[in-house]
Chains A and B, each alone.
Chain A
Amino acid sequence: METLQGSEPHVTIPGKPYPVTVLGYPARMIGPATTYESVSDQIGDVPLKHPHQKAWLAGFTVVFGLFIMFCVAVGYLFYRGVGIWGINIPVAWGFAITNFVWWIGIGHAGTFISAILLLLFQKWRTTINRFTEAMTLFAVICAGLFPLLHLGRPLIFYFLLPYPDTMALWPQFRSPLVWDVFAVSTYFTVSLIFWYVGVVPDLATIRDKAQTKWKRIIYGIGALGWRGSALHWLRHQSAYLLLAGLATPLVLSVHSVVSFDFSVAQVPGWHSTIFPPYFVAGAIYSGFAMVLNLMIPIRRIYGLQNLITVRTLNNMACVTLATCWMVAYGYIMEAFMAWYSGDVFEQYMMKNRAFGPYGWTFWVLMGINVIIPQLLWSRRVRTNDIALFFVALSANLGMWLERFIIVITSLHRDFVPSSWAMFFPTKWDWATLLGSVGLFLTLQFLFIRYIPMISISESRELIAQRKEGKL
């Protein structure tokens, strides 16, 4: 437990590799031997000297292959149209919107960690915020593509934007689909600004550490001539805090607006007031799971255990567990309200969801999204990175399945039985989904290779605070 003045006293228990607080939780925020210089070397050497080149290349080959598959799937989609997917009427939304909601949810963890936890003085977020912000950007890129791919005529996507149009037409600002355009594009822009403002001082470090002329020039352009002047830091910190304050309501608004796409419609299973908070909790849940899934292998491969400590893992796992329960509460309330409303269509929707043709997906969802994450109650699981990786993987798959169930089972049987139909994904649906994972991981691999993945200047602040005895 941190206070503004400092933290709880630490104790060392024999047999434990890390110091713990009096309650037995891991306490260390940064390794004991880290200095200003060692942290600059450790993080700066990854983009400059490329350690573990073979592991990086092997991984990059795989994910780049998936990215090529994405390009092929999208190319064929542009050639033939959305008919290559399994969508039909009534299930017009299919995988594209499932993937959109899933990806944008994953993006939420980055802003949550970097903005909300910054304002709440959670110092353990320092060493993971850069990385998760980058993850946010890449997830939002993947998310933003899906509604565009889902358009019948993707060439004229700009009809959604307010621009001086020769036909004097305007977008319908009363529609949640137009709100979505504004929400997602604002979210991407603000996340990019926030991330770049944070990365500038670290690019200056890389510029000053670089040995070759070209690296100095390229990182120097990114660093904008940053020289660490006190007055510059004053304005930088002011802008950074303001951006955190602006991003905080934004992160809560984006998934709320996404959920309006569903809840404003009349379809049973969608038309529900619980959707905005339920979606936001699910977004943070899947985002934290994705951060764990990416961070744990990187932490092992690049040997960052002294910066991303067991304490960070433990705290991440705690947030995952808490949001898991919020999502579980959403499931319970959906079922309860369906019964309590007395509405025959709502009641049928719930019965169909659990016992209809897609019933098995519902029970798999309960298993991997609600039951398995309960393992996080155990401190042993929370502090064991391999166990944590698999629990997070289960939650990630679970959240995708949740979005699938919301989109498909609600649509496929609505009010009139004569319009009922089944949805079966085609190989192109799967290729686009897996391909988007490839796109996401390709960007992630390039980021790790070329940009400092942990905030060096903020890590130095932690070291300074430790020197002052405030940590």
Chain B
Amino acid sequence: MAEFEEHEQVLAAARRAYAAGYRRMDAYSPFPVEGLAEALGHEWTAVPLITLMGGMAGGLGGFFMQWYSMGRLYPLNVGGRPLNSWPNFIPVTFELTVLVASLCALISMLVLNRLPQPYHPVFNVPEFRRASIDRFFLCIEAADPKFDLQETWSFLETLEPCMLTEVEE
């Protein structure tokens, strides 16, 4: 695992590591660095799609609930107006769309990130506490097919990090 002082450095390091053929790696930063995930080869996330589906389910389900309860289960004639008085159902439909979409955004973000996850090997590095304060890290995992302790170590040295450590499993 290599440690850097500036976000441009970790971004350049991630690009070089990707170009060198490493795939199972991750970068850690105290704030979102634009382009860092792309540099590591992750461009797509399912969060927007899940949120969209959740919103549609919430909206359709909400409208159906009102139509079914007001029109079928408990029909109430209010001044001879139609039972499917859809303009009156729009506010609740809208609120349920937003509610379900937001819950889906939260849950999909947490589930896809596998959070909560109290233990992770990177926390074994004492210096790593600064990943949430002011330092940037690039970690190449042993599971990477190209991983070789000696070779990877010397590759990381060429990236000119301010510190280099081995992560205990």
Interface residues of A (CB under 8 A from B): 35-37, 40, 162, 168-170, 172-174, 176, 178-179, 182-183, 186, 189-190, 193-194, 196-197, 201, 204-205, 207-209, 220-221, 224-239, 242-243, 246-247, 249-250, 253, 257, 260, 457-458, 460-461, 464, 467
- Docked-complex contact A182 and B102, CB < 8 angstroms: no
User: Smallest CB-CB separation from A260: which chain B residue?
Assistant: B91
How long is the Cα–Cα vector from A228 to B128 in the complex, in angstroms?
11
How long is the Cα–Cα vector from A129 to B107 in the complex, in angstroms?
22
- Docked-complex contact A173 and B92, CB < 8 angstroms: yes
User: Smallest CB-CB separation from A180: which chain B residue?
Assistant: B91
- Docked-complex contact B73 and A234, CB < 8 angstroms: no
Contacts of B89 in A (CB 8 A): 173-174
- Docked-complex contact B103 and A173, CB < 8 angstroms: no
B20 at the interface (CB under 8 A from A): no
How long is the Cα–Cα vector from A231 to B134 in the complex, in angstroms?
18
Least CB distance, B98 to chain A, in whole angstroms? 5
Least CB distance, B130 to chain A, in whole angstroms? 8
How long is the Cα–Cα vector from A194 to B101 in the complex, in angstroms?
12
CB<8 Å pairs between A and B, sample of 12: A179-B92, A201-B31, A208-B132, A227-B122, A228-B132, A229-B28, A234-B37, A234-B42, A234-B45, A243-B102, A246-B98, A246-B105
- Known contacts being A235-B45, A253-B94, is A457 close to B30, with CB within 8 Å? yes
Contacts of A230 in B (CB 8 A): 14, 26-29, 33, 36-37, 40, 42
Q: Identify which of B27, B29, B48, B129 contacts A242 (C-beta below 8 A).
A: B48
How long is the Cα–Cα vector from A249 to B109 in the complex, in angstroms?
22
- Docked-complex contact B95 and A253, CB < 8 angstroms: yes
- Docked-complex contact A246 and B120, CB < 8 angstroms: no
- Docked-complex contact A193 and B115, CB < 8 angstroms: no
- Contacting A at CB under 8 A, from B116-136, are 116-120, 122-123, 128-134
- Docked-complex contact B120 and A225, CB < 8 angstroms: yes
Contacts of A234 in B (CB 8 A): 32, 37, 42, 45
- Docked-complex contact A239 and B98, CB < 8 angstroms: no
- Known contacts being A235-B112, A458-B31, is A186 close to B95, with CB within 8 Å? yes
- Docked-complex contact B74 and A461, CB < 8 angstroms: no
- Docked-complex contact B31 and A464, CB < 8 angstroms: yes
Contacts of B119 in A (CB 8 A): 225
Least CB distance, B55 to chain A, in whole angstroms? 8
Q: Identify which of A35, A170, A207, A226 contacts B115 (C-beta below 8 A).
A: A226
Q: Identify which of B32, B116, B133 contacts A236 (C-beta below 8 A).
A: B32
B19 at the interface (CB under 8 A from A): no
Q: Identify which of B96, B102, B117, B129 contacts A193 (C-beta below 8 A).
A: B102
